[in-house]
Structures are given as structure tokens and as C-alpha cells.
Amino acid sequence: MALTGAHMNRNMPTMAERLAPLILFALLALAPPLAYALGAGHWVSLLTRVMILAIAALSLDFILGIGGMVSFGHAAFVGIGAYMAGILGHEGFGDVLIALPVVLVCCAVYGAFTGAISLRTQGVAFIMITLAFGQMAYFFAQSLYRYGGDDGLTLASRSTVAGLKLFDNKLVFFYIVLGVLILAYLIVRALAASRFGRALLACRDNATRMASLGYDVFRIRLTAFVISGMVAGVAGILMANHTEFVSPAYTAWQRSGEFIFMVIIGGLGSLWGAVAGAAAFLLIEEGLSGLTEHWKGIFGPLIILFVLFTRGGLSGLIDRALPRRGDHD
């Protein structure tokens, strides 16, 4: 019984895992009134972008932190979501209730196709194939001359929601994005905690043993890959409406690299850490870019130092600073 209890304690969520997401989302919810009170309304737009990219980082953390799949083509899903929102709006179908199912289907099909090929490899080969598919998506977007080609596509207007122009109001749009982020977090967290999520984690740790136990490792990983891409596609819809512009740069491998950095900064496998990592990445970027035009020369070494001298990213630092449940029982 003592061993069982100890095992249960190790698997119980830490205080950081229970409190950090609540505090993080509460701070985001309180940010707009505080920003307007301080005369810094531009922060609402910046934090909206933070939350949109946090959704994409969260989706990547599901396959990278939990599934162990290092994808350098994840931005392609964001690009698909953004381009489909832009193209549908250009063709007169600008309601998000139309765009959402179309984007989910397109991302699922793209994820199933590219994942079915990529997941037959491992390690560096998997990274290179996902990178290749991401570049294919990038060049395909450049070839869409009807929709701006290399110059990108400017949206005539933001998407409507059941005919209502909710996205046109900056504050309403902020809270819609926050709601989508919270929903995405709850869905991905539920999947990670489910039997499927535990199987995905086990496939990362020891795929050979899982296969010997009768699990279809390929199918588990492919399903996770597709789900992750669909969540990232939703971020693409929101990004297109936020910027009112769609560009092939949304699908570039550099953007995929940024998502990986966000996940690493937040802490691999810590879903709320992906949100915190996205916030840290973009806020530091914003601060440094305001100081000097050579901010990338400072930002790069900062990320390297952070990764080298921290264990588990931001979530690991906070987790070690707070006691675990049952430590003092």
C-alpha cells in the first residue's frame, strides 16, 4: 500500500500544474481593462497575437512534448487555416462558421497525408521530411497568384460569426481568442490525460515495447499528428483575422522554428508552459525590437542561455519553486 501511495503521489498534478494555468488565463482576462486604464491600448493587439500563437505552440507541444515528434513543418497548418479564411472571404464566404469546418477538414487531410509519409521515419529523417513538406506548402502559397501570390492576400474584411461582425471589435475579438485558447488548452489537456494520451507518451518513451504489447504505434502517432494540425489550423483562422492579411511567410520553416522555441522555453510536455513560452518569446521580442534594430543578435543568445541553464523551461522553474501536493502530508 505504501508503494502504491507513493506512486499515486508522483502522478498527482503538481501545484504549478493546478494553479499556473488559472493564474495565466486570469492575467490575460484582466489585461485589456488594465491596458486601457494605463493608456496602453496597443497591448491588447499584442496580447491577442500572443494568444493566437500560443494556440499554435500548444498544438505543437502535444506532438513534440508528449509524442516526441519534432516537426519543422507545423507552420503549414497555421498557413492553411489563414489562407482558407482569406480565400473563402475573397470568394464571398466570409463567415467563420463556414471557414472553421473547411479548415478543420483541410488540416486533417493534409496532416493525414504528410503524417502518413513522415511517420514512417524517425529522428533526423522525420525532421527533414516535415521541413520539406513545410517548404512545399510555402512555395504552393507563393504560386496562388489569384490570391496575391508572393505578395500575400489582404482581407477585404474580417470574418463574421453567424452574420455578426464580432471580430471587428478589438476588445470582443480579444476575448473570443482568449476563449478559443482556453478551449484548446482544455481539449489538449484532456487528450493528454486520456488513455490515448498515455499511449502516445508511452510510444515516445518505448515504441518497441508498445508495439510488442499490441498497440498500433503508427496509428497513435498519426492520430495525434492530425489532431495537432487541426488545432493549429484554428490559430491560422484567428491570425488571418487579426492581421487582416495572409502571407506565404505564415508557412515558412522559420515560423515552425519559432513554435519549437516557444515550446522549449515553456517546458516540453507542459501544456500551460507552451502558452507561457509563447508569451515570453513574443514579449521579449517586442521589448528588444524597441531597443535596437539588431535585437535578433541579442535574442538568439538569450534563448540559448535560457535553454542551457534551465531544466524544464519556465514550467520547470515554477514547478521546482512550488511544493508538490502531499510533500508535507
Rg of the chain over Cα atoms, rounded to whole angstroms, equals: 20
CA distance 97 to 92: 13
Inter-residue contact 57 to 277 (CB < 8 Å): yes
Q: Is the pLDDT of residue 5 over 60?
A: no
pLDDT in tens, 143-161: 999 998 899 899 888 999 9
Q: Which three cell numbers stand for residue 296?
A: 535578433
CA distance 61 to 80: 19
Q: Which three cell numbers stand for residue 29?
A: 482576462
Read off the pLDDT band of 38 (50, 70, 90).
confident
pLDDT in tens, 236-286: 999 999 999 999 999 998 899 999 999 999 888 889 989 999 999 998 888
Share of the chain above pLDDT 90, in %: 64
- Judged by DSSP in three states, 154 sits in strand
pLDDT in tens, 191-205: 999 999 999 999 999
Q: Helices marked H in the chain — which ranges?
A: 2-11, 15-37, 42-61, 75-90, 96-118, 123-142, 170-193, 195-205, 207-212, 217-243, 253-266, 271-289, 295-309, 313-321
The predicted pLDDT at position 75 comes to: 95
* Nearest one of 259, 283, 262, 314 to 21, comparing CA atoms: 314
- Judged by DSSP in three states, 160 sits in strand
CA distance 133 to 50: 26
pTM of the model: 0.91
Among the ranges given (7-16, 31-40, 99-108, 261-270), the one the predictor scored with the smallest mean pLDDT: 7-16
Read off the pLDDT band of 323 (50, 70, 90).
low
